[in-house]
């Protein structure tokens, strides 16, 4: 039975945002518990923990829940500071890789898969994004997206070459590395030959890629979703409550009922009481019949918090 100190990652193997977090767990040399979630709704073992947030990954430690890979990585760094991985411009690199480069990865992969994408998956992603998941349009966009994708891979090549470092923020690996790597891993996991072609001639990048693979993903042990819920129900939320350091609008909502939602896609509203706000995080508290009281932490960048009307 897992315990309340364990890192529990709710994820699935093919999820690139999860691969990024798994890579950081590897960098830190950590042991962690794995709950494999479905890649589409319904997710009955996840929603009671998150209050409605459905995306992957989600990290749970006891009754403290962290939504979005950005704040998950920040929390891993806070709890396990050695080796230091919050280096240089890691966070902006992470956001670029998540938002801009990732969109080109999606266009190439789903455009090239075309008719092979299952109708149920398409319907789920249309609901997630609120827009058509148009594989024909993606197929038309795939070729130009390849040029943009390779151009962005070229930024990694030139960053490594000009600094003459093994990793993006120096000679040790940091958050920027698994973050940028997720796009390469995603494309290579579906279309390995295409990835090799698009990375041709990028010698520094290919060495970097091999180093990240060599670092691995820590020590993973599978547990059930039901066990993870049990851990939350038996634990008190303690770790997630940072000091309020943030002046301004959001602090006026401390103690109030708020709605939190992602600002890009998967904007499902998550209701709770805002209990803490810092420059980088918002923390809400909510009570669920299955888990009892839990905190849920979101990054400031990527999410909006508004007072419940």
Ligand X SMILES: N[C@@H](CCC(=O)N[C@@H](CS)C(=O)NCC(=O)O)C(=O)O
Give how far the C-alpha of residue 6 lies from the chain's centroid of Cα atoms, to the nearest Å: 19
Q: Of the ranges 1-9, 52-60, 208-216, 240-248, which one interacts with ligand X (CB under 6 A)?
A: 52-60
Q: Terminus-to-terminus CA distance in the chain, angstroms?
A: 41
By CB under 6 A, residue 16 contacts ligand X: yes
The nearest distance, CB 163 to ligand X, in angstroms, is: 26
What secondary structure does DSSP assign to 133-151, as a single string? Answer: --HHHHHHHHHHHHHHHHH
Q: Of the ranges 53-61, 76-84, 132-140, 270-278, which one interacts with ligand X (CB under 6 A)?
A: 53-61
Q: Of the ranges 50-58, 169-177, 198-206, 270-278, which one interacts with ligand X (CB under 6 A)?
A: 50-58
The nearest distance, CB 70 to ligand X, in angstroms, is: 6
Which residue's CB atom is positioned nearest to ligand X?
55
Backbone dihedral region of 306: left (phi > 0), alpha (psi from -120 to 50 degrees) or beta? beta
- In a 13 Å sphere around the CA of 170, the CA atoms on its Cβ side amount to 11
The nearest distance, CB 5 to ligand X, in angstroms, is: 23
By CB under 6 A, residue 105 contacts ligand X: no
By CB under 6 A, residue 10 contacts ligand X: no
Q: Which of 227, 234, 273, 302 binds ligand X (CB under 6 A)?
A: 302
By CB under 6 A, residue 48 contacts ligand X: no
Measuring CA to CA, which residue among 83, 92, 91, 96 is closest to residue 172?
83
Measuring CA to CA, which residue among 161, 175, 152 is closest to residue 88?
175
The nearest distance, CB 128 to ligand X, in angstroms, is: 6
Residues within window 125-184 making contact with ligand X, judged by CB under 6 A: 128
Other Cβ atoms within 10 Å of 143 Cβ, number = 12
CA atoms of 183 and 187, how far apart (whole Å): 6
Give residues in contact with ligand X (CB under 6 A).
15-17, 39-40, 54-56, 68-70, 98, 128, 302
């Amino acid at each position: 039975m897992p315990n309340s100190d364990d890192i529990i990652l709710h994820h699935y193997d093919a999820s690139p945002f999860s691969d990024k977090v798994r890579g950081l767990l590897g960098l830190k040399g950590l042991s962690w518990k794995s709950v494999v979630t479905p890649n589409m709704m319904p997710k009955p073992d996840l929603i009671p923990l998150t209050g409605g947030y459905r995306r992957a990954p989600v990290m749970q430690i006891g009754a403290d829940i962290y939504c979005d890979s950005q704040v998950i990585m920040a929390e891993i760094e806070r709890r396990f500071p050695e080796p230091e991985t919050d280096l240089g411009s890691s966070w902006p690199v992470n956001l670029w890789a998540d938002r801009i480069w990732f969109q080109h990865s999606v266009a190439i992969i789903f455009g090239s898969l075309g008719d092979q994408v299952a109708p149920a998956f398409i319907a789920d992603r249309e609901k997630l994004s609120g827009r058509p998941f148009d594989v024909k349009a993606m197929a038309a966009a795939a070729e130009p997206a390849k040029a943009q994708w390779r151009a962005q891979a070229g930024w990694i090549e030139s960053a490594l070459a000009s600094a003459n470092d093994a990793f993006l923020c120096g000679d040790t690996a940091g958050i920027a590395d698994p973050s940028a790597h997720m796009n390469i891993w995603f494309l290579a996991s579906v279309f390995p030959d295409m990835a090799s072609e698009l990375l041709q001639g990028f010698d520094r990048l290919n060495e970097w890629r091999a180093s990240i693979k060599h670092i691995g993903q820590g020590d993973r042990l599978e547990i059930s979703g039901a066990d993870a819920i049990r851990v939350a129900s038996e634990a008190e939320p303690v770790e997630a409550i940072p000091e309020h350091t943030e002046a301004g609008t959001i602090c006026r909502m401390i103690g109030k009922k708020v709605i939190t939602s992602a600002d890009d896609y998967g904007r499902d509203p998550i209701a709770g009481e805002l209990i803490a706000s810092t420059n980088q995080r918002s923390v809400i508290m909510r009570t669920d019949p299955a888990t009892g009281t839990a905190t849920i932490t979101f990054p400031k960048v990527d999410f909006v918090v508004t007072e419940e009307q």
